[in-house]
Amino acid sequence: MDPNDISRLNRRFGIAGEVVFREGPNGQGVVEISNARAMAAIALQGAHLMNWAPHREEPVVWLSPKAKFGPGKAIRGGVPVCWPWFGPHAGEASFPAHGFARTQPWEVIDVQALEDGSNRLGFRLIRSEETYALWPHSTPLELYMIIGAALEMELVTHNDGPAPVILGEALHAYFQVSDIGRIAIQGFDGCPYIDRMDHGRRKQQKGPVIFDRETDRIYLESTADCVIVDPGLQRRIRIAKRGSRSTVVWNPWAAKAEALGDFERDGYLGMVCVESANAADDRVTIAPGGTHRLWVRYTVEPWD
């Protein structure tokens, strides 16, 4: 039985007027949420949240108009799930960057209507011979989301095997901004970071993060809230998290965006990635029988 059969999903999990499953681009399954609090859309491949906007707000999550859809293709924008490693694989250059979770099918395991008008959805990664060849560990992976005035996501990794496992992960969130050159990100003052635009040198952040060129940094020991301050949209996006000790901040700037091929011209100006992660020094060890949870909460704060 196809776990992502659209008719079956609507019969089992659909909620009239709130949650509907449909066929999306290139035949991919998509679940659309439109409830009393917000709207969102999630691709079943990758359990990939593609957009989210509380009512009466500009979209908070950015999706490239030139994003590519199809079996095994990574979607540019939204919130890709990077797992069970972040960036290139440490030992095998031929393995996919950021792991395989974002390009594999997931099954729906739970949909609920909550009392406050939000919806809770749960997904489980479907493993295959192909993914076991890349990651030969018994580590069931689930992702839970609450779609409401705030967006909550929790990535849950279980270790059902006999030995500890070490993994890297990230919720690779793309946020919509008015102009990358006008925003600032607060919350990293004093944090050490790895500057991947400067040969991986270790540096320390001073003041807010601002952008005037390609930026690719891993902030270590970053557990506190951070805030995207956007005067153009007159809002602040707050990112709170648990189970994550590093944060990746990325913008490709013009030349890199053009080379990637799935950005519109000047598309980089309207986005920034702030990724709650366990990467580099902060990879996670899960003991046999253990569970690790990476939880994030995104909220939009009014402009004073």
Per residue in 237-262, pLDDT tens?
999 999 999 999 999 999 999 999 99
Residue 175 in this model has a pLDDT that exceeds 70: yes
Token pair, residue 49, equals 């949240």
pLDDT band at 133 (very low <50, low <70, confident <90, very high): very high
Mean pLDDT of 144-170: 98
Region 254-275: mean pLDDT is 96
Confidence of residue 3 (pLDDT cuts 50, 70, 90): confident
Number of alpha carbons in the 13 Å side-chain half-sphere of residue 145: 27
What is the token pair recorded at 92? 């095998």
Of residues 83, 29, 76, the one with CA closest to residue 276: 83
Give residue 232's identity as a one-letter amino acid code.
Answer: G
Q: Which of 5, 12, 14, 11 is nearest to 33 (CA)?
A: 14
**DSSP output for 163-231:** S-EEE-EEE--EEE-S-TTT-EEES-TT-EEEETTTTTEEEE--SSB--SS-EEEEEES--S-EEEEET
Tell me: pLDDT of 147 over 90.
yes
Query: Do 28 and 40 contact (CB within 8 A), yes or no?
Result: no
Give me the pLDDT at residue 284, please. Answer: 97
Question: What is the C-alpha to C-alpha distance for residues 162 and 80, in angstroms, rounded to an integer?
Answer: 29
Mean pLDDT for the chain overall: 97
**Residue 247 β-bridge partners:** 219, 276
- In this structure, what are the phi and psi dihedrals at residue 207, rounded to the nearest 5 degrees? 75, -165
Residues 186, 190, 193: CA angle, nearest 5 degrees: 90
Q: What is the pLDDT of residue 73?
A: 94
Using a cut of 0.75, tell me whether the model's pTM lies above it. yes
**Residues annotated as part of the active site:** 172, 275
* Exposed/middle/buried for residue 241 (C-beta within 10 Å: 0-12, 13-18, 19+): buried
Question: In the CATH hierarchy, which top-level class contains the domain 6-302?
Answer: mainly beta
Task: Check pLDDT > 70 for residue 1.
Answer: no
User: With contact defined as beta carbons under 8 Å apart, do 53 and 59 qualify?
Assistant: yes
Checking if the pLDDT of 30 tops 60, the result is yes
Position 97 scores a pLDDT of: 95
Rg from Cα positions in the chain: 19
User: In whole angstroms, how far apart are CA 20 and each of 17, 34, 54?
Assistant: 8, 9, 18
Instruction: pLDDT band for 2, please (50, 70, 90 cuts).
Output: confident
What pLDDT, on a 0 to 100 scale, did the predictor assign at position 60? 98
**In the structure encoding, which two tokens stand for residue 274, read together?**
């702030």
Residue extents of the structural domains in the chain: 6-302
